[in-house]
Chains A and B, each alone.
Chain A
Amino acid sequence: MPAANIQVSETPLVLYALRRADDALILGHRLSEWCGHAPMLEEDMALSNIALDLIGQARELYTYASNVEGKDNDEDKLAYLRDVRQYRNLLLVEQPNGDFAQTLVRQFFYSAFADLYWRAMTSSRDTTLAAIAAKSEKESAYHVRHASEWLIRLGDGTDGSHARAQAAIDHLWAFTGEMFAVDDGERALIHAGIAIDPGTLRGRWLQTLSNVAGEATLVLPQNDWMQQGGRAGRHSEHLGHLLSELQSMQRTFPGLTW
């Protein structure tokens, strides 16, 4: 019989950790889909490396969420036994890889945020989150650099690569607002010094984007309508397909190890 969903007691802190863990796992999984398919061997390795960084971050955050919840839901159960509506990741990270430009733009939008976010989180009053931040910050810093250099070359490259990069920016832009949104539970954690207010990072995030876009001869959209929902479990159709692949083994053979 297929394994059933677990129930997670989503206190504000558990939910906070789960959301960041889900971001890292889903984006890591997306990048892993390039393994063996990237345009060149060098990039195949680079994307797989980033995927492994993110999955590593996810594991630490899931374990932390599990400890805070204090029940039997370990990192594997949290990853493999929650369905779409229980996932709390940003809509941005579940968007399909598309072409190479779309993958790189998605990575750039997220990493430019994650870099600032983890750096700020190193001063969290929660020592576990601060420790996870200290490790993740160095990884994210490289992810930004990797994506930036590629974006500059795609945007300032051929007509074809420029058009693809610009199309990716226009397509993914509406998914970036969610990174800076905060709900009541998170506001309390921010007040307690455990979390940081992502809204305070938006100016520097935009600065990073406009610096790179300028060098890449790409244009950032002016529209500010933003798609929301991922943090509350309302996802695009793409996440279900991703999870069915990610979870199929554990769902079919519960507790399987290999």
Chain B
Amino acid sequence: MATPNTPLWEVFIRSRNGLAHKHVGSLHSSDATMALQAARDIYTRRGEGLSIWVVPSSAITASDPAEKGMMFEPAESKIYRHPTFYEVPEEVGHM
């Protein structure tokens, strides 16, 4: 639905014991101030958060799902990038 006066915003909430803001959803609003209020009213009604970010959806640059293969498959064969790939010598002890 086209809503020229109330564009889409993405909402991020940092929970009570969370360290990072997490994406929780989106909403329509006329501007940043109203978006923040709406985010408070829609997404923190059950004490979910202590901090809110709102970002215009149009400001987000997203990867193209059609390029999934090129973007992400090359990483799948590089298991040596995981720390668990390496055997730790006995002498090192508990890390």
Q: Which residues of A contact B (CB under 8 A)?
A: 40-43, 45-46, 49, 142, 145-146, 149-150, 153
Docked Cα-Cα span, A149 to B31, in Å, equals 11
Give chain B residues whose Cβ lies under 8 Å from the Cβ of A40.
6, 28
A46 to B38, CA, bound (A): 7
What size tier do the contact residues of chain B reach? 10 to 19
Task: Give residues 1-42 of B contacting A (CB, 8 Å).
Answer: 6, 27-30, 33-34, 37-38, 40-42
B28 touches which of A42, A145, A149, A150 (Cβ 8 Å): A42
Q: CA of A149 to CA of B41 in the docked complex: distance in angstroms?
A: 14
Task: List, in ascending order, chain A residues with CB within 8 A of B37's CB.
Answer: 46, 145-146, 149
With contacts A45-B45, A149-B33 known, what are 20 further pairs, Cβ within 8 A? A40-B6, A41-B27, A42-B27, A42-B28, A42-B29, A42-B38, A42-B41, A42-B42, A45-B38, A45-B41, A46-B37, A46-B38, A46-B41, A49-B45, A142-B40, A145-B37, A146-B41, A149-B37, A150-B34, A153-B30
Q: Which residues of B contact A (CB under 8 A)?
A: 6, 27-30, 33-34, 37-38, 40-42, 45
**Is the CB–CB distance between A45 and B34 below 8 Å?**
no
Q: How far is the CA of A41 from the CA of B28 in the complex (A)?
A: 9
Q: Which of A41, A49, A142, A149 is the one whose CB lies under 8 Å from B34?
A: A149
| Least CB distance, A256 to chain B, in whole angstroms | 28
Query: A45 contacts which chain B residues (CB < 8 A)?
Result: 38, 41-42, 45
Whole-angstrom distance between the Cβ of B4 and the nearest chain A Cβ: 13
- Counting chain A CB atoms within 10 Å of each CB, the highest count among B27, B29, B34, B41 belongs to B41
Bound Cα distance A43, B41 (Å): 9
By a CB distance below 8 angstroms, the chain B residues around A49 are 41, 45
Q: How far is the CB of B2 from chain A (nearest CB, A)?
A: 14
Query: Which residues of B sit under 8 angstroms from A150, Cβ to Cβ?
Result: 34
Q: Determine if B42 and A153 form an interchain contact, defined as CB atoms under 8 angstroms apart.
A: no
> Given the complex of chains A and B, what is the CA–CA distance between A257 and B38 in angstroms?
34
Residues of A within 8 A of B28 (CB): 40-42
> Closest approach, in angstroms, between the C-beta of A143 and any C-beta of chain B?
11
Complex CA distance for A142 and B6, rounded to whole angstroms: 22
30 sample A-B contacts, Cβ–Cβ < 8 Å, listed by A number: A40-B6, A40-B28, A41-B27, A41-B28, A42-B27, A42-B28, A42-B29, A42-B38, A42-B41, A42-B42, A43-B38, A45-B38, A45-B41, A45-B42, A45-B45, A46-B37, A46-B38, A46-B41, A49-B41, A49-B45, A142-B40, A145-B37, A146-B37, A146-B41, A149-B33, A149-B34, A149-B37, A150-B34, A153-B30, A153-B34
A153–B45 alpha-carbon span in the complex (Å): 24
| B45 contacts across to A, CB distance below 8 A | 45, 49
* A115 CA to B15 CA, complexed, in Å: 27
Bound: A146/B28 CA distance, A: 16
Q: With the chains together, A41 CA to B6 CA distance in Å?
A: 12
Query: What's the least CB distance linking A236 to chain B, in Å?
Result: 30
Minimum distance in angstroms from B45 CB to a CB of chain A? 7
Q: How far is the CB of A51 from chain B (nearest CB, A)?
A: 12
Across the interface, name the chain B residue whose C-beta is closest to A142.
B40
Min Cβ gap B10→A in Å is 14
**Bound CA–CA A46/B36 (angstroms):** 12
CA gap between A238 and B2 in the complex, in Å: 38
